[in-house]
Amino acid sequence: MNFRRFTALLASVVAIVLVVIVVFLAAYAWPAVRLNGFHFLIDNSWNLGRQYGTPITVHGQEILPGAHYGILFLIAGTLLSTAIALAIAVPVGVGAALFLAEGVPPIMRSWLSFFVELLAAIPSVVFGLWGYVVVIPFLGHHLFPFMIKWLGFIPFFGGTPGSGYGLLTSGLVLTLMIVPLITATLRDALVSQPASLREAAVALGASRFETMWTVLMPAVRRVLIGSSILATGRALGETMAVLMVSGNALNILPNNIYQPISTMASFIVSQLDSAMQDPTGMAVRSLAEVALVLCLISIMVNGLARVLLYYEGRQAARIA
């Protein structure tokens, strides 16, 4: 077997595994998909039913009496926490990358970059534990009441501060996890831009800031989009850190940014044991349906990235 065939085989294994996982998930979740229908996505009611009751038959499926599965609160929690994380992480990540690439002396640059990469290497459960022990008491007792006092007039910023567990806390912990991803990728791209770009801008009389903002940033826009999408994927699927700081809300939509939430990934972990006690098995199948929806959302986000990059590429080509 020559090298090319060998690598082709390896590459196809990856693709096959992906397809097999999705197909398995869909097949396993299928009874739940049929039972739950479209309401699965728009109802706020995850109810395993009466665990100690006698199973009943609905639409030919055996389920526990009172069982009903609707995950709108999970979809909302997942998308909102990711959106908050991105809204903070992109500006911070861009700023940090510009600073590391352009603003620091070369000796310090390698050290600071090293720390950013280290931050990216920290396992998420460590972030979760740190959030649980350090961040939550601080946010719940100091920062959130302070924010409500001074920013309460902004919609969703007012109300009751809650306990520190919740949407904003999850968003902040996710932010810390994805900033290094964006920063590290973007810094590398900035550093590798040809010196001639900078020289040309400076020759035209551009200030340092103008050089960065009008010449360098447009040159790395594709990288920024790409790394942001990767970061989004990580935030959407993050499990342990969110589980530890989200407050694990059930069947409720947050009415301000301080309220407890749940995300799809963390919910699957927290509910699996309870679901396994459902003798009809429908609870576990419904959790598989949650996983399927999460998979589809991630695929859609990646698809969106492709489309964005495609148009971005065409635009860049047109300018060139």
Partner 1 sequence: MKMRIRGTIAALAVAVALMGLLTACSQQQSGPSESQAVSLNETGSSLLYPLFNLWVPVYTQANPGVKITTQSTGSGTGISQSIEGIVQIGASDAYISDAQMKQHPEMLNIPLAISMQMVNYNLPGLNGQHLKLSGPVLAGIYEGKIRTWDDAAIRKLNPGVHLPHHAIVPVHRSDGSGDTFIFTQYLAFSTPAWAKSLNYGTTVSWPAVPGGLGAVGNPGMITAAKDNPYSIAYIGSSYQDAIQKAGLGIAMIENHDGNFVLPEASTAGAAAAVMVPKTPKDQRISLIFAPGHDSYPIINYEYALVSSKQPSADMAAALRKFFTWAISQDGGNAPHFMEAVHFVPLPDAVAKLSADQISEIQ
What residue ranges bind partner 1 (CB under 8 A)?
44-48, 50-55, 64, 66, 68, 136-137, 140, 160, 162-165, 247-252, 255, 259-260, 270-271, 273-274, 276-277, 279-280
Q: In the bound complex, what is the minimum distance in angstroms from residue 281's beta carbon to partner 1? A: 10
Whichever of 93 and 166 has its CB closer to partner 1, that residue is 166
Pick the closer one to partner 1 by CB: 52 or 111.
Answer: 52
**Of 244, 231, 241, 146, nearest in space to 181 by CA:** 231
For residue 39, the minimal CB distance to partner 1 (Å) is 15
* Nearer residue to partner 1 within complex by CB, 138 or 213: 138
The pair of structure tokens assigned to 180 is: 């290094």
Secondary structure letter of residue 246 according to DSSP: S
**Where are the alpha helices (H) located in the chain, listed in sequence order?**
3-36, 39-42, 72-98, 106-121, 124-130, 136-138, 144-151, 167-191, 195-203, 208-210, 217-219, 221-237, 240-245, 264-276, 282-319
CA dihedral 197, 198, 203, 206 (to 10 degrees): 120
Contact 237, 294 (CB under 8 A): yes
Least distance (Å) between residue 307 CB and partner 1: 37
Instruction: Output the CA torsion 17→22→26→27 (10° steps).
Output: -10
Select 50 or 306, whichever has its Cβ closest to partner 1.
50
If the CB atoms of residues 17 and 125 are measured against partner 1, the closer one turns out to be: 125
Report the b/e string of 257-291 with b at 16+ CB within 10 A. Answer: bbbbbbbbbbbbeebeeebeebebbbbbbbbbbbb
Sequence-distant (≥ 6) Cβ neighbours of residue 309 within 8 angstroms: 222, 225, 226
Q: How far is the CB of 159 from partner 1 (least distance, A)?
A: 9
Q: Which of 73, 65, 71, 75 is nearest to 282 (CA)?
A: 65
**In whole angstroms, what is the distance from residue 238 CA to residue 224 CA?**
21
- Closest approach, Cβ 85 to partner 1, in A, equals 21
In whole angstroms, give the CA distance from residue 152 to residue 204. 46
Smaller CB separation from partner 1, 225 or 252? 252
| Cross-strand partners of 74 | none
Cα three-residue angle 265-270-272, rounded to 5 degrees: 95
Q: With respect to partner 1, which residue has the nearer C-beta, 59 or 273?
A: 273
In the complex with partner 1, the residue whose CB is nearer, 55 or 103, is: 55
CB of 47 vs partner 1, minimal distance in Å: 3
Shortest CB 55 distance to partner 1, Å: 6
Minimum CB separation of residue 161 from partner 1 in Å reads 10
